Amino acid sequence: MKVLIRRMLLFTMVAGMVALIWWALQPKPVLVDTAVVSRGSLVVTISDDGRTRIRERYVVSAPLSGRLVRIGLDPGDTVTARQTLLTTIEPTDPELLDPRAAAQAQARVKAAEVRVNLAEPRLESAKEALNLAESELGRLQRLDRKNAVAEQELNRQRVIFRQAGNDYSAALFEQEIAAYELELAKSALIRTSDDTDPPTAWSLPIYAPISGRVLRVFQESSTIVNAGERILELGDPRDLEVEVDVLSTEAVAIVPGAQVLLTQWGGDHPLEARVRLIEPSAFTKISALGIEEQRVNVIIDFVDPPEARPELGDGYRVEADIVRWKSDDVLTVPTGALFRESGQWAVFVFSHDRAVLQHVEIGHRNDDAAEVLDGLQQGQTVVLYPGDRVESGVVIRQRTD
């Protein structure tokens, strides 16, 4: 009996040592992070820094030479068109009575009259284009309620209508400025006439040509100015647009009307905008790494009203995410699971506690996810950021911490 017990104990010890050696020789599982292949929305964007700028700005210049009275306005002050007195130009004898100054003033009046004559037909053409775009948009909207028009055609007409509205606003602004310049030129011409009025009658008041705010004051102190010298810059800070320069290789994929999300502008929510124009000419820019790049300016209009961005002003930095492509129902895989293998995209699939190499076909992708065209199915688990220890057939275990 004792011999049998000793043999059983010896057998147990030998079996335990064999099991211990077998366990020690087994490969230890590699801890990995995983993600599940799922269906959802995917948005591909072109992201770059941009800056805001006032759409229409006006530089007030001296219509004639004389003594500029000290300007009491500061940047940020509000002005009203034809009501707010910006400054006054007083004569410096005998400059305002010089025959040459009178001839120059007459020439400026004629030039201003030509600008007015040019602005009026442009305004009329812009108004007709706006009416036509509005009529066409209304027709397509009626067809859309009957499901008789393509969504793409309706969106294209919305872009055309917004563009026509912007063109009309610009033409109206141009016509108002031309009329103001004509009035100012005529006032300067009157003050070059020789009569017996007292010197105060020769003072030329300059009123604000537009309603808005003072952006910059070029000549704050009283001084002698020459005709055409800049005095102030005016604009409406609520009428903003965004200028973003992108690589020319990316600009070819952007279309007018594309959706844009503006982030990193200082607010707690992104602002919605639309691409209005892709400039047809590129320019060379040196990157931070010293590389020459061909870049193109993309002009973006805000969709959100000015009340949603009251703090945003002229020249402020924003980050623009221009939507290049999007879909609401697409099979996606995290980009962290993708790598190149034999010239193809591949992933490691988590299957029965082992990593299985799987080649996949990828479509659109962004920084976070990629569209799966072939090679994966919904619900499969893939390895994220596989390291050098992960190979096909290697035992893996999902990291839980």
Which of the listed ranges 28-37, 49-58, 122-131, 135-144 does the model predict with the highest average pLDDT?
A: 49-58
Pairwise CA distance, residues 177 & 235, whole Å: 12
In order, the DSSP letters of 319-367 are EEEEEEEEEEEEEEEEGGG-EEETTEEEEEEEETTEEEEEE-EEEEE-S
Cα–Cα nearest to 62, from 53, 54, 71, 74: 71
pLDDT score of 164: 85
pLDDT score of 42: 94
Residue 96 has pLDDT above 60, yes or no: no
Residue 26 has pLDDT above 80, yes or no: no
Cis peptide before 280 (omega within 30 of 0): no
> Which two tokens mark 357?
């190499």
Q: What is the pTM of this model?
A: 0.63
Among residues of the chain, what percentage have pLDDT more than 70?
Answer: 88
Residue 242 has pLDDT above 50, yes or no: yes
Contact call for residues 330 and 361 (beta carbons, < 8 A): no
Residue 285 pLDDT level (bands cut at 50, 70, 90): very high
Each residue's pLDDT tens digit, 144-180: 888 877 888 888 888 888 888 888 888 887 888 888 7
In order, the DSSP letters of 7-26 are HHHHHHHHHHHHHHHHHHHS
Q: What is the biggest distance separating any 2 CA atoms in the chain, rounded to whole angstroms?
A: 147
Average pLDDT for 255-275: 92
pLDDT score of 13: 75
Say how far residue 260 (Cα) sits from the centre of its chain: 7
Residue 401 has pLDDT above 80, yes or no: no
> Which two tokens mark 312?
């945003």
> Which two tokens mark 140?
């397509």
Instruction: Convert 66-98 to b/e letters by CB count within 10 Å (16 or more is b).
Output: bebbebebeeeeebeeeebebbbbebeeebbee
Residue 134 host element (H or E): helix 99-145
Pairwise CA distance, residues 87 & 61, whole Å: 11
In order, the DSSP letters of 63-109 are SS-EEEPPP---TT-EE-TTTSEEEEEE--TTGGG-HHHHHHHHHHH
Pairwise CA distance, residues 242 & 258, whole Å: 14
- Residue 61 bridge partners (DSSP): 230
Average pLDDT for 74-102: 78
Three-class DSSP category at 141: helix
pLDDT score of 381: 92
Pairwise CA distance, residues 278 & 254, whole Å: 8
Average pLDDT for 335-364: 91
pLDDT score of 93: 53
> How far lies 187's CA from each of 100, 102, 181, 385, in Å?
17, 12, 10, 74
pLDDT score of 196: 44
Residue 396 has pLDDT above 60, yes or no: yes
> Which two tokens mark 233?
């810059």
Three-class DSSP category at 366: coil
Mean pLDDT taken over the chain: 85
pLDDT score of 154: 81
